[in-house]
Structure 1
Amino acid sequence: MTDPVDQHWADLLSPSRRNLLRGGGIAATAGLIGGQAFAAEPTPKLSPAAVAARTGKSPWGYETDRGPTRRPKSVRPGEENGLPDRPRAFTDIKSYHAHIYFDEDSYEKAVLIRKWSADRFAIELGNWNHEPRGPHVTPSFYFGFGTDLQPVILPWLQLNSLGLTILIHPNTDDPRADHLHYALWVNRSQPVNAYGMKKPDLAAGEPAVERIYPNTRPTIAIERG
């Protein structure tokens, strides 16, 4: 037979009881048991799948087909408050990033492009990302380069991509737009999860635009026809 005190504690700390406490049914932050105070434990936030598993019902309800269709807020740069009244200056671009994507079947091509690039250009070469990182949803590596090299590196990558997907984006004061709206693609494009990227936090000492610090020592002159 269950001890009444144990059953009381079990009832008190059950998920439904916790919800009641959080809603202020007895005491949102404290209660009394035998004259002794206690603090209510926070209820963990459940995922929609966990809610469905507990209730046996859709966590979204049963009238989702009747919801309004609202126009989403624009995330296109310069259109947050309507169309811009003038174009941006091209000098807002301070540098570029090239992100070379690969997988378990094409990594040897990425190795070759990485070596060719480091041997020929004064670039900022990043580490290997063997798993998705940041807004990039597949393995990749990147290198940064100045605007002075853009007229050379862009056609060089077009001709030496070895069929890999390459994202080339500028660096301005708007990283989200750089990845989603100002980007160029070599070969096919792929999803980039950049919607959550924020503008630099100047108050925290972040630079207004990411800078490039070359770390390679090129030893081979670029091939010319």
Structure 2
Amino acid sequence: MSLDPDFFNERDDQMWADLLSPGRRALLGGGAAALAAIGLARGAAAQTAPAPARPLAPRATGRSPWGYETYKEATPRPKSVRPGEAVLPSSPRAYTDIKSYHAHIYFDEDSYEKAALVRKWAAERFSVELGNWNLEPRGPHVTPSFYFGFTNDLLPVIVPWLQLNSLGLTILLHPNTEDPRADHLHYALWVNRSQPVNAYGMHAPGPGEPKVEQIYPNTRPSVRLEA
């Protein structure tokens, strides 16, 4: 007996139709979604599970040298560092109180070559008092630096020259008056960014000391200033 091949085709078509019916698709899809939800929940639980507690470090024994009452100390008002400004001044200070200027060029292990170039250029072009290298903090300056001092007549030239030739270094420009603490903290100019200056311990000259720091040029300019 021979079978009609169309029989098998009709049977297969009916089987796939049953499998792909809306009801079966919903059932299969819901099961897959449920399995996926279970997997996500397990993953989230694994991620949010608290880590095992670590044992606390043993508490240090001994007594603080400051005691245990420092939180009760009142906040004191620092002593004024602006001369003549404990009360508002009645008149401005005379600009002739400034006798000279210092330029302090700051550098570190990454920028010392730039500092050496600025130092060389300045010594070649200006009659200034060039100090030595300070490879560690010195005086009120908290980083390595060098300085040069100059007279008032050079101010209109040296300030713009340093602005254009700082090579990105931090430079402190301050006047020299009879109050070095205020000179460094309150009368200063900065090229590029500013940085802390530890000048609160500086004081006015005592008896027999020069009232203002003196400038004695020690360079021999040999290069014509670019203009």
Equivalent position of 2:216 in the other structure? 213
Q: Which amino acid aligns with 1:151?
A: P
- Post-superposition offset of 1:144: 0.2
- Mean alpha-carbon deviation: is it higher for 139-148 or for 59-68? 59-68
Q: Which amino acid aligns with 1:102?
A: F
Equivalent position of 1:108 in the other structure? 113
Equivalent position of 1:223 in the other structure? 226
The gaps in structure 2 that reach 5 residues or longer are 1-59
Which protein shows a greater Rg?
2
- Post-superposition offset of 1:94: 0.3
Counterpart Cα distance in 1 of 2:96 and 2:72: 48
Give the paired residue count.
Answer: 168
Using the size of structure 2 for normalisation, the TM-score is 0.71
1:97-133 residue CA offsets vs partner (Å, 9 max, x unmatched): 0000001110000010000000000000001111111
Q: Does 1:127 align with 2:132?
A: yes
- Say which of 133, 147, 156 aligns to 1:151: 156
SS state at 1:117 partner? helix
- Say which of 57, 60, 64 aligns to 2:66: 60
- What does 1:42-121 correspond to in 2, within 5 Å? 56-80=62-86, 82-121=87-126
In proportion to residue count, which structure has more helix?
A: 2
Counterpart Cα distance in 2 of 1:107 and 1:72: 36
SS state at 1:208 partner? coil
Equivalent position of 2:27 in the other structure? none
Counterpart Cα distance in 2 of 1:74 and 1:200: 17
Using the size of structure 1 for normalisation, the TM-score is 0.72
Counterpart Cα distance in 2 of 1:124 and 1:66: 50
- Post-superposition offset of 1:145: 0.3
Report % sequence identity.
Answer: 79
1:37-66 residue CA offsets vs partner (Å, 9 max, x unmatched): xxxxxxxxxxxxxxxx9x911222222222
Counterpart Cα distance in 2 of 1:123 and 1:85: 36
Counterpart Cα distance in 2 of 1:190 and 1:221: 33
Counterpart Cα distance in 1 of 2:77 and 2:180: 24
Counterpart Cα distance in 2 of 1:131 and 1:211: 24
- Say which of 137, 145, 167 aligns to 1:162: 167
- Post-superposition offset of 1:154: 0.4
Counterpart Cα distance in 2 of 1:153 and 1:61: 53
